[in-house]
Amino acid sequence: MSGSGHKSWISSCDFHPRGNLLATTSGDGTVKVWDFLKTKCAMTFTEHTQAVWGCSFHDTGDFLASCSMDQTVKVWDTNSGRCRNTFRGHVDSVNSVCFQPYSNNICTGSADKSVSLWDLRSGLCIQTFVGHTNAVATASFNIKGDSIVSTDADGNLKVWDIRMVGQRLNVDLGVPINDAKFDKSSRCLAVACDDGTIKVLDSGNGKVQGVLAGHEKAVQAVKFDNASRYLVSAASDNTFRIWA
């Protein structure tokens, strides 16, 4: 299946937990949900006023969160097709959004150099983590939901401890970082770097355990499979690679 409908570049995508839907975000300011069975766009959300950077489905699939350059995060009800809540508080573009596993909390990373946690039900900010010196590019949880890894354009990677409400690790890789993900065990981090490499870090001490080289341009995104046997990477050289 291929779908055309966005009027500008596509910034991110996320599968519905049941695998029958795919959400996409775009520079045209819209969020679209595609139905694989009907092979067409099922929903289009248009309330963001600027480019949308990312999206994330809740574990139940009933809600979809999106983040935008308009400094807001919106939560969409996928059953009614309406905006359930709008989160305001960041003072610059919100570049990353994800749900905490098996909870009603949302994590955001912003160009205002902060990482924030929000309560889906109340719409209020629970906690803000401050420490980055440049725009936060991405923020994501480990599978346990007790740690967040965030990255910035200065080459800094930080791991935040949710329970201790503080920074647990800071690593300066000396090259802009575009993405970072925990593996299933939470002991390993895959880091997508602007120099075309993927660096594998120990999430405890931050030491580089290995470097995956092969892309010819900046690596933009990385993702482990559910068992962490494979790692998928996507880069500006118009290729994606699967590492074992």
Contact 50, 31 (CB under 8 A): no
Q: How far apart are CA 40 and CA 57, in angstroms?
A: 19
pLDDT of 107 above 80: yes
Residue 1 confidence class, pLDDT cut points 50, 70, 90: confident
Ranges of beta strands (E only) in 162-205 are 166-172, 177-182, 188-193, 197-202
Rounded distance, CA 87 to CA 107, Å? 11
Question: Quick one: pLDDT band at residue 204, thresholds 50, 70, 90?
Answer: very high
Say what the pTM is.
0.93
| Per-residue model confidence as pLDDT tens digits over 58-86 | 999 999 999 999 999 999 999 999 999 99
When pLDDT is averaged across residues 79-95 and rounded to a whole number, the result is 96
pLDDT digits (tens, 9 = 90+) for 144-202: 999 999 999 899 999 999 999 999 999 999 999 999 999 999 999 999 999 999 999 99
User: What integer pLDDT is reported at residue 4 of this predicted model?
Assistant: 82
Residues 105 and 149: their CA atoms lie apart, in Å, by 16
Structure confidence at residue 3 (pLDDT):
74
Q: How far apart are CA 35 and CA 103, in angstroms?
A: 25
CATH architecture of 10-130: 7 Propeller (2.130)
